[in-house]
Structure formats: C-alpha cells, structure tokens
Structure 1
C-alpha cells in the first residue's frame, strides 16, 4: 500500500493509518485520544520502516521438533527520539521492538529565527554498527531533523532512516538536500508551511496536543 512520491520518500498510505490520522487532525480530539492514536500509528509506521530488515536462521526447538527459524540479524536497532514530541512515536515503536536501544536528542525551534537549538544528546555506543531510526511527528522546516541527523552522523551513525507522521514539501526538500542518504517514511505530505513554520493543514503543534501544553 505504499507509493513513492520522491525517490527518497515513502508515504505509508495504509487505510488504518489514514483513518487514524484524520481523527488526530480534528481539533476536537482529546489529549488522551491524540496520544493513543499517535502510539497506534507508530505501530503501523514501525512495521513499514522495518519491513526490509535482514534476517538470519537460528536453531530452535518447538514443542514438536527442532528447526531453523528466522531472527533479525545484527546488533539491536536504535530509535532516536527528537524531544519532546518524538517520544509519542517512540513509545509505539518500543511496543513492537522492546529490545531496541534508545537515543534522545533535545532540540527546540527558536520561534523567532525558526532555527534549531540543541540542549540534550544521549545515544548508545557503536552507532556505526546499528540501524538508527529517527522519530519526530512533524517534518516542517526540517531544521531540527537535519540538526539531529548531523549530530548522529558525528557520533558514527551511517545507516539512518527518518520516520514522521506529517511532512511539508519544503521540509522534505530541505532534508533531502542536507541528507540525501537518509530515506523518509511519513503518513502524509501536506500542502505547505505557513509563515510561522507550521504545517498546513497539519494538526497543530504535536507536542502541545500530546501533552496538553501551550
């Protein structure tokens, strides 16, 4: 159910995701409902972003007999959450991959300059040996996402994917220009950014709607 919009972008247009996204966009949806839906969508997006993970065969014993069975190959995945809104996707991802390592990247957007300001970075070691999936609900200006991936690459990450709920065309273009080697997975590409750097029609500020802040 995927279709490629740009060479680097996969829009995951599964009906369940689109249905849940519509409810999230509705301004009348409660904080609890928004949070629950984001977690549910994260399950479905995680399924897509990990679709091509490499497998290897290992010997196990079922109640019936011994067999060779597939398991995910290589070191544990890393989920890198761009704080704070990324944590809404992170929780759903960890439901599916509870053994994943987690990185937290604290970046906020200066509302005057729209530029990213980093305040926290904590990641597992040996990033060069792991697939790193960066999560943030919105790819708007792409400044925060670009800065987060700059930082991960500085720490050795070389196999990175970016997962978001909504993207703006401007953000996709800027991100792809900065990191052409990092594929984007999103539930929708919206129309445009407004002059405050918000996605339109969008769903407002994901962090505020998730945590009930303004």
Structure 2
C-alpha cells in the first residue's frame, strides 16, 4: 500500500485537524462538519495529483489552450454516517464523480469490548475498472474498511483504490495495509499511535458521527 501522510508536512490542513480535535471547538457541529469537509477538499486535491491525465484543448473567446485534464472514471463511496461530511469535501473537487454509499457499524453481541463489523446497505453504480475513492474519517482498527472492501468486491473490481481518512491509528493503518491490494493508496491527515482496549483512537477526537450529527441510541 502507498501511504500518503499529508499532515506530516506543515500546511493549513493542520489548523482544521486541530479544530476537530479541540473539545471546546468540536462541540459546534456545524463547524465540525465544515472542517471535515475542508480536510476532504485538501486530501482530494493531493489525491488528484496521482490520477491519470491527458492533453485536452479548451476553446476560449480568443483562441485555444491545451490543458492536462484527468480522465479517470471516479466513484466516490462513503461509509455511513460519519463519512458524509468527508464525502461532500471530496465531491466539491470531484464534482463529476459517481456516488456510492455503504453502511458499516460495530456490533457487540456480548455487550463487551469484543465486536464484529456488520455491513447491511450498499447503493452504488458499477465500480468495474473504475477509480474507487473510499471515504471514512476514522481509521481505528481498520476492520470496518476491510469489511466494506470485502462487500464491495462482490459488485466488481475497481481499477484502483484510494482510501481517504482524517485520523487513523498506527495499528489500523497496518491492518488496512495487509487487507487491501498492494497498489491501494491511503490519503490521511493524521496518525495517532495509540488504540485503546475498546478500539478507539487516542488521543483521536471522539466519535466523528456523533460530533457531526448528534448522539445515537
């Protein structure tokens, strides 16, 4: 897997990451969603540099200009519900992409820290031989992304896969690396070293879905 740790370099990205982590700022759900969206835009811009391009002539009122434009058939797939603001950020830049949505959640059958990933819903166009962007803001254990990939594989084989995440754990990144094709790309804003015994990233930011859309039952 090709790992692109964008937050390693100093940029405005780190301002948005700091605000979604900050307990005083993240309580503003509108600002939280917008910051996730802006992080998606930045990661999408960086990702775009890795796509395929060809020369196209564009006609202006005064002549023609040859520009290098991407010709990838992009399908943008987000994991519900936390992935929606990240999805919007990517869609702001890949506005001609096709869209897909998939659900994945942790199920604790014994009411303890042990869990399994349940995937129940998938709505998507054909992904066969297309460029698949998988958006999930929190890459904790990596099990959700692996389960999603296994479900999506039943519907076709993408030409290439780009995973877009906001914050991940070192353990989760390694798990995804071992469970996706070798030529997969991971675009991530921040990586934290610790994953606690409940499978949450530390220091992380908390529950991205709850911060964006409110607490769930």
Asked if these proteins are the same fold (TM beyond 0.5), I'd say yes
* C-alpha distance in structure 1 between counterparts of 2:5 and 2:171, whole Å: 16
SS in 2 for 1:119: coil
Q: Give the 4+ runs in structure 1 shifted more than 6 A.
A: none
* C-alpha distance in structure 2 between counterparts of 1:170 and 1:100, whole Å: 31
* C-alpha distance in structure 2 between counterparts of 1:188 and 1:59, whole Å: 38
Displacement, 1:199? Answer: 0.3
Query: Alpha carbons of 1:180 and 1:59: their partners in 2 closer, same or farther (altered >3 Å)?
Result: closer
Equivalent residues of 1:8, 1:180 under 8 A apart = no
Displacement, 1:120? Answer: 0.3
Q: What TM-score results when the alignment is normalised by the length of structure 1?
A: 0.90
* C-alpha distance in structure 2 between counterparts of 1:67 and 1:39, whole Å: 32
* C-alpha distance in structure 2 between counterparts of 1:60 and 1:46, whole Å: 24
Displacement, 1:35? Answer: 0.9
Is it true that 1:60 corresponds to 2:61 in the alignment? no
**Which aligned pairs between 1:71-86 and structure 2 lie closer than 5 A?**
71-75=69-73, 77-86=74-83
Q: What TM-score results when the alignment is normalised by the length of structure 2?
A: 0.89
* Paired position in structure 2 for 1:162: 163
* C-alpha distance in structure 1 between counterparts of 2:72 and 2:45, whole Å: 18
* Paired position in structure 2 for 1:123: 124
* Paired position in structure 1 for 2:214: 212
SS in 1 for 2:128: helix
Is it true that 1:21 corresponds to 2:23 in the alignment? no
SS in 1 for 2:14: helix
**Residues 80-101 of structure 1: per-residue CA shift (max 9 Å, x gap):** 1011111110011111111111
* Aligned counterpart in structure 1 of residue 200 of structure 2, from 198, 201, 204: 198
**Residues 68-117 of structure 1: per-residue CA shift (max 9 Å, x gap):** 33222143x11110111111100111111111111101111114433210
* C-alpha distance in structure 2 between counterparts of 1:191 and 1:89, whole Å: 22
Bigger mean CA offset, 203-212 vs 173-182: 173-182
* C-alpha distance in structure 2 between counterparts of 1:23 and 1:88, whole Å: 15
* Paired position in structure 2 for 1:178: 179
